[in-house]
Structure 1
Amino acid sequence: MTAGTRSTSAAAALEVKGRIDRALAEFLDDRLGELSRLDDASAFELLRPYVLSGGKRIRPMLCYWGWRGAGGADRDEAVRAAAALELFHSFALIHDDIMDGSDIRRGRPAMHRRLAALHEESGWNGDPDAFGVSAAMLFGDLLLVWADELLYTSGVDPARLRAARPVYDRMRAEAICGQYLDVAETAKGVPSVARSMRVVRYKAARYTVEHPLVLGGVMAGGGGRLLAAYSAFGRPLGEAFQLRDDLLGVFGDPGVTGKSNLDDLREGKPTVLMAYAVEHATLAQRALINRLHGAADLDESAARDLRKVLDETGAHAAVEDMIEVRGRHALTALRAAPLTEDAGQALTALTDAALWRHS
């Protein structure tokens, strides 16, 4: 891809992202306007900045370009349907932060922390933290409902929506099952690369790339050859995306990523990164991992010790290699895909951004 093509593709991506944001804002304003009739409904206003502030919109953009790659016209209904995936993603983030005990999301307090602060500032009865968790779970559930509503009222042809329903249902089910696998693997406490990769595939990889692409393709009437190409491209790219996320969760700059680089270590996340380190550690290194990984009071000094082990065991380099290999496989599949030229350029640019991102 030439410099001029990259510039054009980047501009197209920004334009689509802006349209997705406008569709989300319009939908949220309508729904929050309806809720304003309820007594003491001001807390729901927290949902607007939570959804709209920050975020890469990777899933809705992939859905949109999946539509365009199948020959779908540049239409507002495609943007609205794609935007529904961001509401589903916001639901998943709210619940994920509760389960992980994360205080920060996109550089701002997580939803359960915002609601706990509202409780405390309002002088209400009971435990602010318990209120924050309970209310945030409900807010996440509301976004899940709204995601369905936005998709099914997007204006996409009803027959095409019916054809896409199994893809949408499978995406949601796999993401939720993958989250359970993540919780279960954390509880088991002894990660393996094979089991950690299973979590990657179910929790994030297919939900982040493959399913959004296929969903857009089906809604535009794409044929079996194109949808198979989307899967061949989306699976390795989705895995690479999550592997990069795991690296950023430990080695990333919180000022850039918008989240702590201690949370995954404190929680004892069973990432491929940590599983590789465990499988290649010396007895002394494994003892250090067992002592520090999953320690709720882990501080920056202890985190540096763990990061050193991740480097010394080759885990850091191995995961970088896994990302590079999967990126090559994704781009090879993309170049062979029977899709429109503008979609190919946009998806190539999104691939580069996903592989080498810093946030």
Structure 2
Amino acid sequence: MPGLPPTVTSPAELVEDPLSAPDATDAAGTVVERVLGERLRHARTVDPVFARELADRLAALVERGGKRLRTAFTHCGWRAAGGSGDNTAVLRTGAALELLQACALVHDDVMDGSVQRRGAPAMHVQLARRHRAAGMHGSAESFGTSAAILAGDLALAWADDVLTEAALGTPHGRRLHEEWRAMRTEMVAGQYRDLHAQAARSSGVDEALAIATLKSALYTVARPLALGASLAGADDHVLNALRAAGRCAGLAFQLRDDLLGAFGDPALTGKPAGDDLRSRKLTYLLAVALQLAGAADDHRAVATLTPDADPKSENAVRQVRAALERTGAQDLVQARIAELTDMSLEHFEHTGAHPAVRHEFATLVQRATGVVPRRAEEVA
């Protein structure tokens, strides 16, 4: 992948990774399709226009979801806590996570003004085009934004429905719901901190890490692991070890996503490159680069990276990328990703999980972060 250090693998390379994903990932896709079928049939009984123009589009977005990492981590947490046998509740919990992810993506694209998602136009862009094609009155952009917010709300409602059904069907439903409830609030908190940081022109490293943890790390890995473990009746020791492991792996995942957002190839990532740089979104990558530039008295890099800069043009974005490389921030973040992946495996060992489950976790961490953990050989 152009611009990325050789130790970071591209999404296309991850698909071909010799460490095969757990069978649960394939099963999850089937369960997601089944859940979507259930929701769409109900939507059509409610209203055909709503079903055709909104619900169908939402289902298409979820079906383009790809690796189903959150579901895979949920299944891994279940196995780490001793889960075995019927995994229906686990897979349906994973399906709920996929729907929650769709909610986050649709709303995030509206807030960021992103035009592409998973290789297709973003939801608000699709709906604005629908407005124009139908010759409707009023602003197509306003219609697209409003309708996309409803699509995100629908995804959240579907997610809650599926999770509630899973919780009602298990003796561990109360603990499952507690994890889910905490995760939803963390997601909103992270999204708000992200908006707040942009409005306040924040640039602090600690704030960037707090946002990355709340907005992505917890609900991508830490909470899915805990959700799965809850379904197996895990005790506090196992849950705490899984949360620590997931926090590290999830943060590594987000830092890698920051690198891909700045340097990635849109043909592989499915979204435009440089959006975070144009919007001056506070990421750990940008915060570290600004800190390094200040320490080195690199005034040109500071001027380029400051939150007050307005790098809308492609040339300005190229200058930001050059500053990220010149300050050493790109290399530092890559090193931090490798460190976090190893830390996640260390924490996971404290669960006392079977070596096969530890190997499964190492595989998933590699898929999420693009880095082969140095400790992976110890659990192979």
Q: What is the TM-score normalised by the length of structure 2?
A: 0.87
- Larger displacement relative to structure 2 (31-40 or 141-150): 31-40
Instruction: Indicate yes or no: 2:353 matched with 1:339.
Output: yes
**Distance of aligned partners of 1:155 and 1:263 in 2 relative to their CA distance in 1, 3 Å threshold:** same
Determine the C-alpha separation between the residues in 2 that align with 1:185 and 1:252.
24
Determine the C-alpha separation between the residues in 2 that align with 1:203 and 1:11.
25
- Give the % identical residues: 36
Q: 2:369 aligns with which of 352, 355, 359?
A: 355
Q: 2:71 aligns with which of 60, 70, 81?
A: 60
Match of 1:69 in 2: 80
- 1:265–1:293 CA contact under 8 A, matched in 2: no
Deviation at 1:203, TM superposition (A): 0.9
Determine the C-alpha separation between the residues in 2 that align with 1:288 and 1:47.
38
Letter in 2 for 1:335: E
Q: 1:298 aligns with which of 304, 310, 313?
A: 313
**Distance of aligned partners of 1:98 and 1:291 in 2 relative to their CA distance in 1, 3 Å threshold:** closer
Match of 2:91 in 1: 79
Deviation at 1:18, TM superposition (A): 2.1
**Distance of aligned partners of 1:107 and 1:90 in 2 relative to their CA distance in 1, 3 Å threshold:** same
Determine the C-alpha separation between the residues in 1 that align with 2:79 and 2:309.
44
Q: 1:181 aligns with which of 193, 197, 203?
A: 193
Q: 2:104 aligns with which of 92, 105, 118?
A: 92
- 1:60–1:82 CA contact under 8 A, matched in 2: yes
- Larger displacement relative to structure 2 (241-250 or 285-294): 285-294
- 1:277–1:310 CA contact under 8 A, matched in 2: yes
User: For 1:222, what is the secondary structure of its paired residue?
Assistant: coil
Residues 43-88 of structure 1 show CA distances to partners (whole Å, capped at 9, x for unaligned) of 0311121101133211121112111221223422221122111101
Deviation at 1:200, TM superposition (A): 1.0
User: For 1:154, what is the secondary structure of its paired residue?
Assistant: helix
Structure 1 segments unaligned to the other structure (5+ residues): 1-5
Letter in 1 for 2:66: G
Determine the C-alpha separation between the residues in 1 that align with 2:310 and 2:217.
24
Deviation at 1:288, TM superposition (A): 2.4
- Larger displacement relative to structure 2 (130-139 or 76-85): 76-85
- Larger displacement relative to structure 2 (94-103 or 60-69): 60-69
Instruction: Indicate yes or no: 2:32 matched with 1:24.
Output: yes
Instruction: Indicate yes or no: 2:143 matched with 1:134.
Output: no
Match of 1:287 in 2: 303
Determine the C-alpha separation between the residues in 1 that align with 2:117 and 2:361.
26
Letter in 1 for 2:64: S
Deviation at 1:290, TM superposition (A): 3.7
Q: 2:20 aligns with which of 6, 10, 27?
A: 10
Q: What is the TM-score normalised by the length of structure 1?
A: 0.92
Deviation at 1:302, TM superposition (A): 2.1
State how 1:99-110 maps to structure 2 within 5 Å: 99-110=111-122
Residues 254-305 of structure 1 show CA distances to partners (whole Å, capped at 9, x for unaligned) of 111111112111111111111111112212221222488543x321x22221
User: For 2:336, what is the secondary structure of its paired residue?
Assistant: helix
- Larger displacement relative to structure 2 (242-251 or 200-209): 200-209
- 1:267–1:293 CA contact under 8 A, matched in 2: no
Letter in 2 for 1:121: A
Determine the C-alpha separation between the residues in 2 that align with 1:11 and 1:56.
9
**Distance of aligned partners of 1:294 and 1:283 in 2 relative to their CA distance in 1, 3 Å threshold:** same
Letter in 1 for 2:141: D
Match of 2:49 in 1: 40
- 2:201–2:307 CA contact under 8 A, matched in 1: no
Residues 121-180 of structure 1 show CA distances to partners (whole Å, capped at 9, x for unaligned) of 112111111111101101100110110111122376443111221111111100110010
Match of 1:251 in 2: 263
Instruction: Indicate yes or no: 2:321 matched with 1:307.
Output: yes
- Larger displacement relative to structure 2 (81-90 or 155-164): 155-164
Matched positions, count: 347
- 2:31–2:95 CA contact under 8 A, matched in 1: yes
User: For 1:10, what is the secondary structure of its paired residue?
Assistant: coil
- Larger displacement relative to structure 2 (66-75 or 77-86): 66-75
Determine the C-alpha separation between the residues in 2 that align with 1:36 and 1:232.
43
Match of 1:319 in 2: 333
Letter in 2 for 1:31: R
